[in-house]
Amino acid sequence: MDFFKKPLINSTRDAVYHTLKDQILSLTLLPGATISEKEMSVSFGVSRTPVRESFVQLAQEGLLDIYPQRGTVVSRIDLELVDEARFIREHLESAVIRLACLSFPDESLRLLQMNLASQKVCMDEQDYKRMFELDEAFHRTIFEGCKKMNTWAVIGQINVHLNRTRMLRLATDHHWDELYAQHGQIVDAIKEQKPDTAEQLIHAHLHVGIADQALLKEKFPTYFK
Amino acid sequence: MDFFKKPLINSTRDAVYHTLKDQILSLTLLPGATISEKEMSVSFGVSRTPVRESFVQLAQEGLLDIYPQRGTVVSRIDLELVDEARFIREHLESAVIRLACLSFPDESLRLLQMNLASQKVCMDEQDYKRMFELDEAFHRTIFEGCKKMNTWAVIGQINVHLNRTRMLRLATDHHWDELYAQHGQIVDAIKEQKPDTAEQLIHAHLHVGIADQALLKEKFPTYFK
DNA sequence: ACTACCACACTACCATACAAGTATGGTAAT
DNA sequence: ATTACCATACTTGTATGGTAGTGTGGTAGT
């Protein structure tokens, strides 16, 4: 076998999987909604097999609940899980930012500064969708510089559960200006190698704009467990 | 739909999935070994469907690499991933043990002490398999007392990659006596609410008996990436 | 001896058919 | 009116056949 070539992404299963995942995370498919393999297979114009395999994957990630012979439901948001997702992210990100202050490649530092510049532009243009992507890229770059991409992947997995609550307060203020200012301070702390300062900043940073869970649950009772 | 009843576990897919996972983690299926849906389906006496769905799940966990139209391979051990798994566990466990020192239910504390007693027995009987289970239960109980079971689940996921290296040094010493002594000190730190001491203990605890990766890779070159 | 080619035996992927469990609404017996 | 029953239309679970891509070994041609 010749394993030099990487596996392709041109499988219908992958397409269905990503489409479904996007729809769930964007709340196009609402928490608690019942879906079926058949329904999705006709909607996508494929057979049940790739749909079913996508269901299995999504169930493993906690985005679907499969009840054998009864039905499949988009998982309701588990607030305890959301809390812990935040807990996990905060502590891992703290640990990594401290590493970054000890040693950080110049190239990654340049990427951070370029990212900051792009953020400034997006702020002026009020392009919040791209701003969200840049925020993600900013944090990822820190992990990348510390050679902790697997750790970043773990955060990506658990963040899935945070993202839906984030989406629920879409209309509300996301404090992008505050986040932007903090990003700048974080870069400075890395550059000046001040781990304690950096950790404190990250801590505050990740606590900006946390949704009031009680309020959300009151507003969308059926979306929660 | 009546969702009070929980989903059952009596699916052949689940059986196949867990069997395969056990075989991979126990190194019955060696890293780098090529397997196929057909092969496993005849070996288990089931059709290809449940096998295939298990493959998808295991691939998602990084235990299998599926190359479309070419074959499926038990993933080789990624030492970078192993390092990060340890990194993640250490920092999450540090954070939780600090929480435990702030407040910890009496019931969980009793469970820890009972667990310690069982460990003592196993040490005397040299029942190392059960000792391993008790060690797992010990740490889980700490997370349980802090209401961080989802966090524990995350650790369980990443630990999968650690376990295979642990298995490779099966014959060597696991320092159970040292681990047991540390467990006792950790319980004391929780009881006396000394977070700094507890964190230091956990840090040392998780560094006991770390395999020499360079040595392992030299001894089993084909098992690693 | 060497190379280009090709038949063949694999692989995972997908579509489809069937099996088995479950919810529901109508109907007949009480 | 109430209850027990059952046909029916769902659901997910499993089995199987065909498809297309891939590696391999043999063979014919040079």
Q: What is the mean pLDDT of residues A135-160?
A: 96
pLDDT of B210 > 90? The answer is no
Interface membership of A42 toward B (CB under 8 Å)? no
Structure tokens at A31: 């928490």
pLDDT on residue B172: 66
Pick A9 or A97 by higher pLDDT.
A97
Look at residues A200, A94, A141, A198 and name the one whose alpha carbon lies nearest to residue B92: A94
Interface size A-B, in CB pairs within 8 Å, comes to 79
pLDDT digits (tens, 9 = 90+) for A204-213: 999 887 878 8
Per-residue pLDDT, averaged over B178-182, amounts to: 91
Question: Cα–Cα distance between B133 and B135 in angstroms, integer?
Answer: 5
- For residue A193, what pLDDT is reported? 96
Which tokens hold the place of B187? 């319980």
- Contact between the CB of B36 and strand C at under 7 Å: yes
Question: Looking at residues A191-202, what average pLDDT do you find?
Answer: 95
Query: B205 versus B5: which is more confidently predicted?
Result: B205
Question: For residue B126, what pLDDT is reported?
Answer: 84
d(C-alpha A107, C-alpha A144), whole Å: 11
Q: Is the pLDDT of residue B171 over 90?
A: no
Q: What is the torsion angle, in degrees rounded to the nearest 10, for the CA atoms of residue A106, residue A110, residue A112 and residue A114?
A: 180
CB burial of B126-163 (b: ≥16 within 10 Å; e: otherwise) equals eeeeebeebbebbbbbbbbbbebebbbebbeebbbbbe
B50 CB closer than 7 A to any strand D atom = yes
**Closest-CA residue to B138 (of B93, B75, B197):** B93
**A9-41 tens-digit pLDDT:** 589 999 999 999 999 999 999 999 999 999 999
Range with lowest mean pLDDT among A65-69, A163-167, B57-61: A163-167
Query: Is pLDDT at B163 greater than 60 in this prediction?
Result: yes
Dist CA A205 CA A185 (whole Å): 10
Give the model's pLDDT for residue B220: 93
- The residue in chain A having the minimum alpha-carbon distance to the alpha carbon of residue B95 is A91
Residue B222 has pLDDT above 90, yes or no: yes
Amino acid B128 CA to nucleotide D6 C1' distance, rounded Å: 57
Q: Mind listing the pLDDT tens digit for each residue in B101-134?
A: 999 999 999 999 999 999 999 888 888 888 889 9
Scan residues 1-20 of chain B and list those with Cβ within 7 Å of strand C: 1-2, 5
On the question of pLDDT at A119 being above 70, the answer is yes
> Does residue A6 lie within 7 Å of nucleic acid chain D, judged by its CB?
no
Nearest by CB to A68, from B7, B73, B150: name it: B7
Mean pLDDT of B9-21: 93
Contact A96, A143 (CB under 8 A): yes
Region B142-161: what's the mean pLDDT? 96
In this structure, what token pair is assigned to residue A93?
């990100």
From B175's Cα to the closest Cα of chain A, the distance in A is 28
Nearest nucleotide (C1') to alpha carbon of B68: C12
Region of residue A27 (left: phi > 0; alpha: psi -120 to 50; beta: else): left
Question: What is the pLDDT, as a whole number, of residue B7?
Answer: 46
Contact B189, B201 (CB under 8 A): yes
Question: What is residue A27's predicted lDDT score, i.e. its pLDDT?
Answer: 95
pLDDT band at A7 (very low <50, low <70, confident <90, very high): very low
Give the confidence band of B142 by pLDDT, cuts at 50, 70, 90.
Answer: very high
Residue B175, pLDDT > 90, answer no
At B196 the pLDDT is 96
Residue-averaged pLDDT of chain A: 92
Q: Give the distance, in angstroms, between residue A7 CA and nucleotide C4 C1'.
A: 28
Task: Give the whole-angstrom CA distance, residue B221 versus residue B225.
Answer: 8
Query: Mean pLDDT of all residues in chain B?
Result: 92
Would the Cβ of B70 be found within 7 angstroms of any atom in strand D? yes
Confidence of residue A8 (pLDDT cuts 50, 70, 90): very low
Element (H, E) at A109: helix A106-125
